[in-house]
Amino acid sequence: MKDKKKGILQMLLVIVVIALCGFTTLVGFTKHHKGSAQNIKLGLDLAGGVSITYEAVGDTPSATELEDTRNMMQKRAEVYSTESSVVTGEGGRITIDIPGVSNAEEVLKSLGKEGSLDFVAEDDITFETEGDKQIPKYTKTVCTGKDVKTAEAGTAQDEISKNKQYVVNLKFKSKGTKKFADATEEAAPEKKKIYIIYDGEVLSAPAVQSHITEGNAQISGSFKTYEEADELASMIRIGALPIELKEVQSQVVGAQLGLDAIQTSLLAGAIGFGLVVLFMIVFYRLPGVASSLALVLYLFLMLIVLNVLDITLTLPGIAGIILNIGMAVDANVIIFTRIKEELAKGKTVQSSIKLGFDKALSAIVDGNVTTLIAAFVLYIKGSGTIKGFATTLAIGIILSMFTALFVTRFILKAMYVLGVDDAKYFGVEKPRKTIKFVENKAKFFGISGVLVIACIVMLIVNVNGRTGGNILNYGLDFSGGTTFDITFNDDQKIDDTLKKDIEKIFMDESKSNDVVISEVAGSNALSVKTVELSEDQRNELTKTLEDKYKVEEKNIQNQNISASVSDEMRSDAVTAVIIAAICMLLYIWFRFKDIVFAGSAILAILHDLIFVLLIYAITKISVGNTFIACMLTIAGYTINATIVIFDRIRENMGNKSSEEQLTTLVNESITQTLTRSINTSVTTAIMVIMLAILGVESVRDFAIPLLAGIVIGAYSSVCITGTLWFTIKKYTKTGNKRKKA
């Protein structure tokens, strides 16, 4: 007997949880909390700002030297924004992100200058007030950071209180010892101060207690913690740091352009979300309603997790969330298809719901784990905004599994208890004529062969001049150089005359004829790509554009990448795909206990990636950092669809071994999962199409090949993988028989 009161309570619980998550996301609990969605940190491509990567010149610096330099850069960056981030990387690299700044060129110039550490006697310094700051002014120094040999934090006993205190121990070089001895001899009688100043900021001003002659000094009395003493020691060491930095990559993004990217991407997501919900309700009826409620909860949870984990949201990250909305439906589609199949067998609604979830579990887990592998590799081998995409993709996969396997199930059970127990509300799988996929395998393999040949031909055509002698249209990430994205005022018409003028300006400044100009679709803007330019050259170009065309600095973006970095990115792209393929191969082999399943799946992935490569070659879409994200996302998506079919083949196999039995097995298994394959592709494609139509150019360049990957992935999972498995299985069995004979 059903307890309707229990069902009502369960549905109320679902509504309350969704409402609470929505309130937390959009509003918050107090007047000081703006809601998780508004508290999420935005990356430079959304908030605007400056990103720059430096590399140590010469030998790779030690860990201490690198950390000291990072601390120095962090101090400099925080002058412009407290949200600044400075991180160290491999090979002595330091990356600095400063969001929200408007005077980008000034920031770049300031970050790149050599630091200065000065010791100044009290009698030789004055202070001027600028705003709320006291700025030290001096022309004479006792010594500089170059005179310091070491600076280390430590502990000592206070001579008066006998308590432990934190101190900084200094040791000067020979010349510094003499200079410091003379200064302390003069300051000691009246216990005058010696100011320690770094980049125009007073770090410390200890009073001289005695004449110091041996070059060993100790700063004490002002440190509450060891960390405070260690920070000062680090800043003093920085002044003597024998490390030279050179810029290898930089990017300047206007805040308004980032705002436009947010608005268009959110609009694409909202429209796509609405269409996916409508599709699910129309096609799956009551379960579609349940999955739509779970999908709303999934979206709120995603935003809350991003806020709680303090993850920086980037434009590819938003694309990842939007893509996840389409992919989050996949688990529900598998489950609902299973429920309809059980109802078609005459099972009760209650039994069908239970069996539907149980039978769908293995395919959902295996499919999502393989996609997680792609996200993990993407995070490890990607950089900057691509790590953001990988993070949101991984979080989305985990949350979508939770909402599909637990939340959707909970809602369906509650609805059943409320009396919604007629099979008509769920839909019953209609008998479907088995399609002869195996018998048509020659046609499918022929189509795939044509696509592979077409890809090779297009790459050869590109090498012969279509994309400047490269097999693909390499973007800045993969080729190195400098790009400027210039958004002109509405009264400035973009025509051939303007393009020629801009081209001449860049040729004159770069002293190179290697200047490529293209219009930015959907905006009154030009993109200019040229050879790698120095910071001074970029600043001069920005000033020229401001003066001649009245373009505001916030509407001028530039990005600079050295050849060494671009070479690494190309290498990382290939390595990432290989690592992901190997990991997926091993996982599928482990789960299915059959190398033929794993090998067929990997060949299907390579087939899809070759097709996407063809799309890049034909459309001349710029191949850059997002190329890695696109390729690995398609690999994960394809393997997900393939596993659903392989899972059904494994389930139906039993003791079948003859060629006739295997033919029937593959045909029936693919036919049984065909609805799922089509519907999942449709829901995911809806979201990607919205991104391709409404997204900014960088998102469109990601969405178009991704859409092609979804289409070819649907084709290969249905037409290639099962028939390929059959073909390999057939010939391996034939070979084994010959050996036995």
Q: How confident is the model at residue 204 (pLDDT cuts 50, 70, 90)?
A: confident
Q: Which amino acid is at 73?
A: M
| DSSP for 544-613, written as a single string | HHHHHH---GGGEEEEEE-HHHHHHHHHHHHHHHHHHHHHHHHHHHHHHS-HHHHHHHHHHHHHHHHHHH
> Is the pLDDT reported for residue 741 higher than 50?
no
- Position 738 scores a pLDDT of 46
SS3 113: coil
| Of 22-36, 286-300, 532-546, the least confident | 22-36
Name the helix (H) or strand (E) containing 520: strand 516-520
Find where tokens 């308590």 sit. 163
CA dist 377 and 635 (Å) reads 12
Provide the mean pLDDT of the chain.
Answer: 81
- Position 241 scores a pLDDT of 52
Whose CA is closest to 331, among 355, 295, 374? 295
| DSSP for 409-442, written as a single string | HHHHHHHHHTT---GGGT--PPP-PPP-TGGGHH
**Tens of pLDDT, residues 171-197:** 999 999 999 999 999 999 999 999 998
- Position 32 scores a pLDDT of 47
**Tens of pLDDT, residues 460-496:** 887 766 555 677 777 766 777 788 888 888 888 888 8
Task: Specify whether the CB–CB gap between 528 and 515 falls below 8 A.
Answer: yes
Q: Enter the tokens of residue 138.
A: 């001096």
**Which domains occur in the chain, in start order?**
4-40+254-422 (1.20.1640.10), 117-245 (3.30.1360.200), 438-458+565-740 (1.20.1640.10), 481-561 (3.30.70)
Mean pLDDT of 649-674: 88
> Is the pLDDT reported for residue 584 higher than 90?
no
Q: How confident is the model at residue 257 (pLDDT cuts 50, 70, 90)?
A: low
SS3 474: strand
- Position 622 scores a pLDDT of 79
- Position 177 scores a pLDDT of 94
CA dist 244 and 222 (Å) reads 32
- Position 735 scores a pLDDT of 44
- Tell which phi-psi region holds residue 310, choosing left (phi > 0), alpha (psi between -120 and 50) or beta: left
pTM (predicted TM-score): 0.69
Mean pLDDT of 88-94: 74
Name the helix (H) or strand (E) containing 155: strand 148-157
201 forms beta bridges with 198
- Position 123 scores a pLDDT of 92
- Position 240 scores a pLDDT of 55
Q: Is the dihedral of CA 216, 222, 227, 232 positive or negative?
A: negative
CA dist 554 and 426 (Å) reads 54
User: By percentage, how much of the chain surpasses pLDDT 70?
Assistant: 89
